[in-house]
Amino acid sequence: MKPWEHLATARAPEGSELRLLRRGDEFSIRLEDGNELMNSRLGGSEEALASLALDRLAGRRAPHVLIGGLGMGFTLRAAQAIAPPDARFIVAEIVPDLVEWAAQHMAGVFGDSLSDPRVEVRIGDVGAMIRDARGTFDAILLDVDNGPDGLTRADNDALYGAAGLQAARRALAPGGVLAVWSAAQDRSFGRLLSSCGFDAETHVVRAGRNGRGSRHTIWVAAIP
């Protein structure tokens, strides 16, 4: 088996180091301790984040979708494939290097997804974008850190605590949907969504597209 090749290193705002590795046509983004955050061969649950959320918006004209975290683009590409031609996507990514990696090192993974005229990539904190919005988005898809139990940014707690969820509810249009990806199950988070006024469903999905791999959790929380 080919060894992993270290392509690039980035620094997240709070100081965590991210490393981009390649082995053949496979890519991996890892923390400096070796913990893998994402892999180009394992995007099934991130794609499910988009499909489960947008299924709840079926028939809505010109949906405006905020995606928190570019990653390897799995959620974005799945949303693009499902959404109507008049949809709009804003992708919030706090680490500028990840956008550069998408264009430079992982162009084969991303294809033409970032040149889609429906897509705007904004460098910045998705939490701040949510707090500044009022009834703006039909869907907010959060694949930030490892979910409610984040690994890399302490500030992610502001997304998944009661204040963050209430801000997301204010940012959504009537009948809008908040979808959250997590590496692990967390029953208390489902209860918190309900207490913040969402009609929440919990889905357990596999990391791989073939129905294999680790089990991840997706909450789909709609405004009744």
Which pLDDT band, with edges at 50, 70 and 90, does 14 fall under? confident
Query: Phi and psi (nearest 5°) for 97?
Result: -60, -30
**Would you say residue 153 has pLDDT above 50?**
no
Over pLDDT 90: what percentage of the chain?
76
Tens-place pLDDT, residues 96-119: 999 999 999 999 999 999 999 999
d(CA 24, CA 54): 33
**Would you say residue 154 has pLDDT above 70?**
no
Tens-place pLDDT, residues 125-145: 999 999 999 999 999 999 887
| Domain architecture of the chain: domains with CATH | 42-222 (3.40.50.150)
Strand order in the sheet with 26-31: 5-11, 17-23, 26-31, 36-39
What is the average pLDDT across 74-101?
96
